[in-house]
Amino acid sequence: MSTTILENELFESFANASDNIYIYVCDMKTDISRWSKNTVDYFNLEGEYIKNTGPKWMEYIHPDDRAAYIKDIEAVFSGASNRHSCQYRAKNKYGDYVWLECKGSVISDENGQPLVFAGLMTRLDNQNKYDPLTHLLTSYEMQKYDFTTGHGAILLLGINSFRMINNTNGFLYGNKVLVALSEYLEQTAGKDNRVFRLQGDEFVILSPNSSKKELGKLFENVNNHCTNIRGLKSFSVSAGLVSYPEDGTDFNTLISNLEHSLEYAKEQKNEWIAEFSDKISQRHLRISQLHEALTKSIRNNFKGFELYFQPILDAKTKKITECESLLRWKTPEIQDTTPYEFIKILEDSGEIREVGTWVMEEALRHAALWQKKYHDIGVSFNVSYIQLLDGEFINKLIAKAQELEVNPQLVMVELTESCNASDTEMLSLQFGKLQKLGFKIAMDDFGTEYASFGLLHDVSMDVLKIDQKFVRGLIREGNLTDMAIIENVVNMCRQLSIQTIAEGIETEEIQDIIRNIGVSYLQGYLYSKPVPAVTFEQMIEKERQCLINENLF
């Protein structure tokens, strides 16, 4: 009997039908219950089948909610009610309490004896009044607020690099940061203001009586506090600021304007707070337009994307030894964007993965072609950190190089925006795999991020690209710093058998200084801007022709 109840096909079908609904059925005669697999996973239950269910499930329920739960369930089992319906908090696998609505009913046999107790639990996250982690009000509560009357200001706070904090220190540490910040916000917000937690690392302070200026001041206090919380590493926050009714009179408009302002603030190097303005609104519009057009290009077989190539020269011979592939994109409607602008959008949306694979294949296609034509011209291409997160990219790269019979020694991967590279163990593993096969790995823009040295310590590199900022600084009057930095980096690399490339060489004067310091390779407008493949080929052919002529005469 018990197996037919628990092994019911209907149970299987319902259990597979939804992620956010948790299904259970209990054989009342044996007191063995069965739970859908998503329930087992989300609550970390001991298994799909549980004996003696009542007391075991009770341990998951929040102590404050147990009395209400017991009362309801006892009414069902005593026969006083045949339906169980109750809301309570239960602890999930992350150790967080989530609100559940639990509904169930009892089926009795012909003698009135309870036979089966079955039901389902629904998560109430979206409708929760309080956030289970921080106990702050949720965005659901904020939506109820009437923004059409009165004047007020709203601050949206986001923790800077929260993803990195989570990645490096673990999920539980990330939770501690959220709780500590929420406690401080409640303490300092003042009694007239309300604090809400939106999703992830975002918090709102809604102030019906104060001005944007006053909230700006509060933001400063919060940021000062974040550097100094006992037991936590220092972190910082950014913020967007709006006032109502000026910047909107409904929840959706205000939140969207706040999000755009926060996004803008996070991009600024020196300002961590941004008031909503026409400029921010225009900028958001442009990003949306570009994003839409980029997605269209990607779907349209990467139409509009093209690789340009910039020569890299051996510093001793001043001959072209390789080139860097640089992505270009334009459409009939959009002609005025830069790689910095559109690549950032691709990175934020995650579409850099698809485009990055296209770049890699195009770069390898040219490497194969030039290997046949010119034998020893290397090709490098840029890779963003997020392209490497799933390990697939490296496999595709290896497979493509084999398919095209490209010599790995002629291929170099440049890791851009190394500041986000928090999982150095993963990088080390993936790059190690490439290096074993002979591919070269370069760290791009060395020195621009404070994490550069840390990354160098953890991940083996073949080449460092010294950022243009230092190279251009060489001829600024009275500037000894950049010279000292480059000299020391080059010395360090020599000791570590790492080669160096100086980027952004625009004048003979800079070239001479760089060559004197002993940098291995040169790249910059002095030699050539990035050019289409055919132009690059002409450059090589011209150089080789000159060499032949020199040898003849």
Contact positions toward ligand C2E, by CB under 6 A? 310, 326-327, 338-340, 343, 352, 356, 359, 381-384, 416, 444-445, 468, 503-506, 523-525, 530
d(CA 411, CA 398): 11
Which residue in this structure is represented by tokens 């607020």? Answer: 145
Subset of 319-338 contacting Ca ion (CB under 5 A): none
**Residues touching Ca ion, count (CB under 5 A):** 5
On whether the CB atoms of residues 140 and 127 are closer than 8 A, the answer is yes
d(CA 413, CA 404): 17
Cβ proximity to ligand C2E, 157 vs 383, nearer residue:
383
Cβ proximity to ligand C2E, 35 vs 385, nearer residue:
385
Question: Least CB distance from residue 504 to ligand C2E, whole Å?
Answer: 4
d(CA 493, CA 515): 15
Structure token digits, residue 313: 């020269």
Q: Which does 236 bind (CB under 5 to 8 A by kind): ligand C2E, Ca ion, none?
A: none
On whether the CB atoms of residues 361 and 393 are closer than 8 A, the answer is no
Q: Which of 357, 320, 358, 353 is nearest to 523 (CA)?
A: 320
Question: Least CB distance from residue 346 to Ca ion, whole Å?
Answer: 15
Cβ proximity to ligand C2E, 202 vs 445, nearer residue:
445
533 CB-side CA count, 13 A: 14
Q: Which does 157 bind (CB under 5 to 8 A by kind): ligand C2E, Ca ion, none?
A: none
Subset of 488-547 contacting Ca ion (CB under 5 A): 503
Coil vs helix vs strand at 1 = coil
Cβ proximity to ligand C2E, 87 vs 384, nearer residue:
384
DSSP per-residue codes, 92-155:
-TTS-EEEEEEEEEEEE-TTS-EEEEEEEEEE-GGG-SB-TTT-PEEHHHHTTS--SSS-EEEE
Subset of 428-457 contacting Ca ion (CB under 5 A): 444-445
d(CA 312, CA 318): 9
Cβ proximity to ligand C2E, 257 vs 416, nearer residue:
416
Report the residue closest to ligand C2E, judged by CB: 524
On whether the CB atoms of residues 85 and 121 are closer than 8 A, the answer is no
Q: Which does 479 bind (CB under 5 to 8 A by kind): Ca ion, ligand C2E, none?
A: none
Question: Least CB distance from residue 367 to ligand C2E, whole Å?
Answer: 14
Q: Which does 340 bind (CB under 5 to 8 A by kind): ligand C2E, Ca ion, none?
A: ligand C2E
Cβ proximity to ligand C2E, 197 vs 465, nearer residue:
465
Question: Least CB distance from residue 426 to ligand C2E, whole Å?
Answer: 17
Cβ proximity to Ca ion, 273 vs 388, nearer residue:
388
Cβ proximity to Ca ion, 201 vs 414, nearer residue:
414
Using the contact rule CB under 5 A, the part of the chain among 83-91, 206-214, 374-382, 532-540 near Ca ion is 374-382
Coil vs helix vs strand at 428 = helix
Question: Least CB distance from residue 467 to ligand C2E, whole Å?
Answer: 7
Question: Least CB distance from residue 274 to ligand C2E, whole Å?
Answer: 24
> Residue 440: phi, psi to the nearest 5?
-105, 150
Cβ proximity to ligand C2E, 131 vs 445, nearer residue:
445
Residues contacting 382, CB < 8 A, separation 6+: 324, 325, 326, 327, 359, 414, 416, 444
Coil vs helix vs strand at 2 = helix
String marking each residue 381-420 x if it binds Ca ion according to CB under 5 A: -x-------------------------------x------
Cβ proximity to ligand C2E, 242 vs 379, nearer residue:
379
Residues contacting 255, CB < 8 A, separation 6+: 139, 156, 198
Q: Which does 61 bind (CB under 5 to 8 A by kind): Ca ion, ligand C2E, none?
A: none
Q: Which does 327 bind (CB under 5 to 8 A by kind): ligand C2E, Ca ion, none?
A: ligand C2E
408 CB-side CA count, 13 A: 16
Question: Least CB distance from residue 382 to Ca ion, whole Å?
Answer: 5
Question: Least CB distance from residue 218 to ligand C2E, whole Å?
Answer: 37
Classify each residue of 386-411 as buried b or exposed e, where b means 16 or more C-beta atoms within 10 Å of its C-beta. bbbeeeebbeebeebbeeeebebebb
Which residue in this structure is represented by tokens 């991940």? Answer: 459
Q: Which does 24 bind (CB under 5 to 8 A by kind): Ca ion, ligand C2E, none?
A: none
Question: Least CB distance from residue 21 to Ca ion, whole Å?
Answer: 48
Binding site for Ca ion (CB under 5 A): 382, 414, 444-445, 503
